[in-house]
Amino acid sequence: MQEVEKQSQTAFQKQILSTFEHSLTEEQRFLQDVLTGKIKLIPHDDVIEKLEYMLENGLN
């Protein structure tokens, strides 16, 4: 009986999580992906450094 209750609870939790994820806005999904590491942010200084290098040296 306890196993059935555990399976029901797990299914219910999955349903709640699914409903929650579907209710997120695009911005909230983006922030969630950043926080979970699915999206890696690059520091501004690194971007500028690479941009300056590319402007000085071209694509070669």
Mean pLDDT value of segment 20-49: 93
Q: How far is CA 33 from CA 1, 17, 18, 54, in A?
A: 38, 15, 16, 29
Go through the chain and tell me how many residues it has: 60
Q: How confident is the model at residue 60 (pLDDT cuts 50, 70, 90)?
A: low
Q: 10 Å Cβ neighbour count for 26?
A: 7
The more confidently predicted of residues 37 and 2 is 37
List the structure tokens of 51: 């941009």
Mean pLDDT value of segment 26-44: 94
CA atoms lying within 13 Å on the CB side of residue 22: 6
